[in-house]
Structure 1
Amino acid sequence: MKKTIAFVVFDGFQLVDMAAVAVFELANDCPGGPFYDLMLLSEHGGPVRSSSGVKVDSIAFDAHTYDTVMVTGSMSPVVSSPRFIDFLRQSCAASRRTASICTGAFLLAEAELLNGRRVTTHWAQARELQHLYPKTRVEEDRIFINDGNIWTSAGMTACIDLSLALVEQDLGTANARLIARMMVVYHRRSGGQSQFSALLEMEAKSDRIQSALSYAKRNLAKELSVDELADAAHLSRRQFSRAFRNETGKSPAKAVEALRVEAARAMLEDSSHSIDVVARETGFSDTERMRRAFLRTVGQPPQAVKRASRLGKM
């Protein structure tokens, strides 16, 4: 029997959140499908205008029971209505799963569905969510979080990671990977992975320095000396070191460490690999070196990250 996935939209919703619909659309083409009926709901039904001006058609809230209710977000939190909040409360009580994308978490929090829950939202709005709804437990640096039957995600493209995780729960890892390949995205980032990318934060301005960073990310298990990175950038060692620090604000060694910590954290949170294996695969010479790097960058040792991820999946 097909599962009904209801996407809740409202005037000013963020159109990029509709990328989540594509995940379930492609899931219907997996062997054995179709698995899902997809619906767009709004308070009054009819055309609903997104923040970009593009409109989508919707049907009005009703007493129908949905398997999964997904509340879209907006560029900034919106003011809801009593009927909207009543619908969220009733649909959450009746559905198997309730999820929010980006600032949709504010609507779930207003409906008191996030009290005592671990949740996330777009990093730019996370502290405001915690301030307005102190009974929530906001973790601002997460791609998505699953706490019981409630799922919340970061903003923008994180809706794809969230939807892939929901499909993986329903149809298994192989189908989720197939869908990710069809969408030409990385097989979903783990829920605990940072909303921030080390490569983006370093913001290399030239193609040569960007090439060196990309080379480093692809070859973390190697030693990655300054000479090797300079060769990848087609610069002399002296030119490379000067240009690298000017563009990224970091030394090559610190930049490589940041990339290694990011990769190691993703492995710890999204696999059963031991600390030793993770250290080896990400280029740390030993677990003690990795531990020191985690304390400097993450503020806690690898064991704590792995333990927190395991508890979050229970």
Structure 2
Amino acid sequence: MISANPVPREIGVLVFENFQLLDAAGPISVFEMPTRGLDPSPYRLTVYSLEGGPVRASCGVSMHSEQLSTDLQLDTLIVSGGEGTRQAMTDERILNSIRKLSHNTRRTTSVCSGAFLLAAAGLLNGRRATTHWRRCADMQRHFPDVIVEPDRIFVQDGKFWTSAGITAGIDLALALVEDDLGEEVARRSARELVVHHRRYGGQSQFSVMQDIERASGRFDSLIDWIRAHLANDLNVEELADKAGMSSRNFARVFRSETGTTPARFVEKLRLESARRQVETSSRSLLQVAQDTGFGDTERMRTSFIRAYGQPPMALRRQVRGGDLAREN
């Protein structure tokens, strides 16, 4: 039996014109799950905006909101993102409200480009943060005092939690529920939502297949084969033979089709697979290196530092005791 707080935690979701609907609805749905069957409920959820009333999302659907008061005493503030953040960043009323609300909250969080509003309010200076990968460079340019981590699903720095694009808000909310009520409640909430429990904050926003161009898909079956045989040598000659082409022609056509060389593509797949195993399993680094084709831990370590700026063990510690550790 889960024991809930006698007084529900107040969760406030801030929206504005042209917000991204799922940035608000995703976390709201996560926080709804633990309220089922519990009396008293562990959470009370409210959507807020400056004026109150219906607020139009970028998709055209409106969400009802209560009028925002800076005297609110929230447990957790969630600032949604979306196209509307560009306009909201110039509205001092919104930024001032976020500053005052954050001062009185235990946790201040954002989904996707909502991090721009926290940064514009001056709350992320000197802190680690993330946002949607497409806007990370823009965020770093606008807010040089923020330590932007573009390759993270979500980042916690003290009371401030920021997350990447859209569905990462669900991962963030599950981490917040776990922080409040424990892993089993978060796991059960994820199961009810039929989502993965859980993508750790340190996991990458990207995948190799998102990162490459695919002009015609002619190498799809070869790519599937590479994924299943990462421990092989996988030199150009072997790949060309598998594709039924000469080495020179294969290298030229592969680069034309994918935008990268065969060797670089194989290394990216190895890195992605190795990082996933390092972060989500307890296998030794030597086992991971051998299974993913690096051969030995030193070669894998060198590749990790070049790609991620950190060795494998540092990423493993970060996932298990960093992003979801209770940093204060």
Task: Give your verdict on TM over 0.5.
Answer: yes
Q: Bigger CA drift: 235-244 or 275-284?
A: 235-244
Return the offset for 1:50. 1.1
- Residue 83 (structure 1) aligned to one of 93, 98, 113: 93
Distance change >3 Å, CA 53–CA 36, structure 1 → 2: same
2:49 pairs with 1:42: yes
The correspondence for 2:124, drawn from 98, 114, 121, is 114
Match of 2:9 in 1: 3
Distance 1:197 1:289 in 2: 21
1:290 correspondence with 2:315: no
Aligned partners of 1:216 and 1:224 also within 8 Å: no
Residue in structure 2 matched with residue 163 of structure 1 by the alignment = 173
Tell whether 2:71 aligns with 1:61.
Answer: no
| 8 Å CA contact 1:244, 1:251 repeated in 2 | yes
**Cα root mean square deviation, aligned:** 3.4
Q: 1:296 and 1:130, CA in 2 relative to 1: closer, same or farther beyond 3 A?
A: closer
Gaps of 5+ in 2: none
Most deviating of 16-25 and 140-149: 16-25
Q: 1:212 to 1:58 in 2, by over 3 A?
A: farther
**CA distances 1:60-83 after superposition (whole Å, capped 9, x unpaired):** 112231111100012252334333
> Cα deviation per residue 1:49-102 (whole Å; 9 max; x = unaligned)?
111221110001122311111000122523343332232122212221110111
TM-score normalised according to structure 1 size: 0.82
Q: TM-score, normalised by structure 2?
A: 0.78
* 96-105 or 76-85: bigger deviation: 76-85
Query: Is 1:185 paired with 2:195?
Result: yes
Tell me, in whole angstroms, the C-alpha distance in 2 between the residues paired with 1:172 and 1:283: 37
Map of 1:15-34 to 2, 5 A cutoff? Answer: 15-17=21-23, 18-29=25-36, 34=41
The alpha carbon displacement at 1:8 in A equals 0.2
Instruction: Quote the offset at 1:9 in angstroms.
Output: 0.1
Find the residue that maps to 1:288 and give its secondary structure. Answer: helix
- C-alpha distance in structure 2 between counterparts of 1:21 and 1:224, whole Å: 48
8 Å CA contact retained: 1:265, 1:302: yes
Deviation of the 1:192 alpha carbon? 1.9
For residue 126 of structure 2, give the secondary structure of its aligned residue in structure 1.
Answer: coil
Cα gap change, 1:239/1:162 in structure 2, threshold over 3 Å: closer, same or farther?
farther
Distance of aligned partners of 1:277 and 1:135 in 2 relative to their CA distance in 1, 3 Å threshold: same
Match of 1:144 among 149, 154, 163: 154
Q: Which runs of 5+ in 1 are unaligned?
A: none
Q: Percent same amino acid at aligned positions?
A: 44
Tell me which moved more, 78-87 or 208-217.
208-217
